[in-house]
Amino acid sequence: MGGPKVGVIGIGNMGLAMALRLQERGFAVQAHDIDPQREALARTAQLPLQASPAALAANLDCLIVAVVDAAQSEDVLFGTDGAAPALPAGATVLLCPTIAPADTERLGARLAALGLACIDAPMSGGPVRARAGTMSLMVACDEGAFECNRAMIETLSDAVFRLGARLGDGARVKLVNNLLAGINLAGAAEALALAERVGLDPARTLDVIERSSGQSWIASDRLRRAIDGDLVPRAHTTLLNKDTHLALAMAAQAGFEASVGTHAAALFARACAAGFGDLDDASLFELLRRGDGVR
């Protein structure tokens, strides 16, 4: 294809959806992942693959990093066979993981030293919305980097939030959002576990909540499946455990006491310790219905 050349490192649920969205819309997309199962899915979708981050990076206009955390981001960019030194001067790196603002700033500075632009662009909305181009992107970067990559960004998202030029502000907004998502999910899971304990049908109770003041998007999205016993991971419990604790660390650095968030984060940590880490984050409902919440 003759469109802009884009690489995607990390083709998990979100990364693969983004890569296929761009490929479908005429971008020349290649990908890399360390998981053979994810690469097999890419091959099935006829998405070209490269053997290493460095091999992927050659001749790209933009590299999308869609791995899990800051350590993985640093490794794929600057580790053995890292992508950053292999990128052409003037190329852009789109940082999509949920990581600490300080990590975004540090990675951005290292990329700038190599003559590379960095866009701080955490994402939200899940793989279905990523595939449809309707997820949210929280974008912080200078205006030149944004304009050079506007077509790609707006192909990925019809809800692009421009947060200014300061790298790290995308990460800050994403952590605030994910802390609230964790609080909402923990609260909804607790409420439905209580409903079940007092003899109510949790599915019927959720019907009422969805049309009443207790409604939240994440409760409807996650707990409808959890009630049916479906904990196949769309978003792993480990991720909201990571993200809520990153948000608490940010709060502590700002001298802010996030007491409700602290309780929610403790529930995600308890769920991971109980063996639910690799299940969907709706596993909180299963944890609480068993009476294994934080006391």
3-state helix, strand, coil in the chain (%, to 5): 55, 15, 35
Provide the 3-class DSSP secondary structure of residue 15.
helix
The number of angstroms, rounded, from the C-alpha of 113 to the middle of its chain's C-alpha atoms is 26
Q: Decide if 134 contacts 61 (C-beta within 8 A).
A: no
C-alpha to C-alpha distance for 240 and 174, rounded to whole angstroms: 12
C-alpha to C-alpha distance for 262 and 132, rounded to whole angstroms: 34
List the structure tokens of 124.
């939200």
5 assigned to active site: no
C-alpha to C-alpha distance for 204 and 241, rounded to whole angstroms: 28
List the structure tokens of 173.
């907004």
- The one catalytic residue in 174, 222, 245, 270 is 174
What is the set of active-site residues?
174
